[in-house]
Amino acid sequence: MEPVVRLLADLVAIPSMNPMGRGHAGKHYQEQALADFIGSFLRQHGIDAQMQEVAPGRPNVVGIIDVKAPQTLLLEAHLDTAQVEGMTIEPFDPQIRDGRLYGRGSCDTKGSLAAFLQGTADVMTGVPTSNVVLLFVSDEEYRFTGAQHAVRCGLKADFGIVGEPTRLGIVRAHKGVTRWRIVTKGVAAHSAYPDRGKNAIYAMSKVLAQLEDYGNRLLRGERHPVLGTPTLSVGVIEGGQAVNVVPDRCWVEIDRRTLPGETARKAIEGVNTVLQDIPDWEAEAPYLAVAGMEISEDAPVVRRLESSITDVLGRATLESASYATDAGFYNSAGIPTVVFGPGDIAQAHTEEEFIELHQIHQAVDIIRRFLTT
């Protein structure tokens, strides 16, 4: 087995599921074991590795290659994966069939992780032409706390790549996302005397009618040339204690996809404005706000990656995406960062997640060139 395939199989065999805020406990719902494995891989290849504790059992790994070059490149990928409920294959016993490796996280995004690690390790046998920061973060799938922690710890680089399955295309623009709750408050009463209470679910129904209308207006509104329009979706609702009680509380969770430059504050203000004539609701502070990003086609990171990809594949594609990534935080922190990696987002989080191994080999080759151009 080729070293990068062995490495990918090892990474997939170490569970690192994101608990998604649902009270799952135990080491399979932490990134610690995977971080330790990567830490020793880096040290074996002569790369200084440190842990940044984001939360107990949930570290970031930072590998530093300092060759005193004027330029520093960032290679980043997340350690956590989706959960495994409903999977029809063995999630943590990677199988290779028909040129594919099957297992949870193989595509999203341990394929990128393996390619970045192997590509960098290969380059370490000579001398890289740039300094390199390897950053592997916790908790991308739920709250993006690892990436935000790394930025708070003073992450510095001239430009970078975030590894996600893009089928080796360069994503140079993607939307952001802001998520928050709206709560309606009523007064509880016996359901036989509804006039003595105030029904928080009825109050929410008025809020929802406005939100649906607003979401439709966003879809007909101003379009970004490659990303289209911003969107709004209500994904969760909860309210009431029992059928014989007038509910005193109801809440919904809003997912608002933003365009580059559109702040979370502006997105929330837009919703507050459409609800201003409706009584009895309150907006909570956003629990997630990832900025959208857009990098020019002529930016050095795009040009350099484009030429590395063209050397290997014959051509490079520039794309955009509707999903948000850690790249939003790095771009906001002044590090121009694109999204690039092996694998297809269509296989991410699926019941039989896999990655095409030829893309892994190509990605290693591309990263080697990117680091030594």
If the CB atoms of residues 76 and 262 are measured against Zn ion, the closer one turns out to be 76
64 phi/psi in degrees, rounded to 5? -120, 125
Q: What residues does 17 pair with on adjacent strands? A: 81
Among 145, 115, 103, which residue's Cα sits nearest to residue 18? 145
Q: Which of 75, 95, 249, 216 is nearest to 159 (CA)?
A: 75
Cβ proximity to Zn ion: between 106 and 178 the closer is 106
- Report the Cα 171 to chain-centroid distance in Å: 13
Nearest distance in Å: CB 107, Zn ion: 9
- Nearby residues of 148 by Cβ (< 8 Å), 6 or more positions away: 329
- Smallest gap from Cβ 343 to Zn ion, in A, equals 9
Residue from 332, 180, 335, 204 nearest 265 by CA: 180
Q: Which residues bind Zn ion (CB under 5 A)?
A: 108-109, 164
* Whether 207 contacts 152, CB under 8 Å: no
Closest distance between Zn ion and the C-beta of residue 269, in Å? 30
Question: Which CB sits closer to Zn ion, 82 or 250?
Answer: 82
Q: 246 in helix, strand or coil?
A: strand
Strand partners, 184: 250, 281
Contact 76, 149 (CB under 8 A): no
For the bound state, the minimum distance from the C-beta of residue 58 to Zn ion, rounded and expressed in Å, comes to 16
Q: Give the residue with the Cβ less far from Zn ion, 141 or 262.
A: 141
Judge whether 282 and 200 are in contact, CB under 8 Å: no
The least CB distance from residue 211 to Zn ion, in Å, is 28
- CB 354, min distance to Zn ion, A: 15
Minimum distance, C-beta of residue 192 to Zn ion, in the bound complex (Å) = 51
* Minimum CB distance to Zn ion, residue 137 (Å): 11
User: Distance from CA of residue 272 to its chain's centroid?
Assistant: 27
Distance CA 121, CA 39 (A): 13
* DSSP secondary structure, 265-310, as one string: HHHHHHHHHHTTTS-SEEEPPPSEEE--EE--TTSHHHHHHHHHHH
| CB closer to Zn ion, 49 vs 82 | 82
Given the complex with Zn ion, which of 251 and 330 has the nearer CB atom?
Answer: 330
For Zn ion, give the closer residue by CB, 108 or 262.
Answer: 108
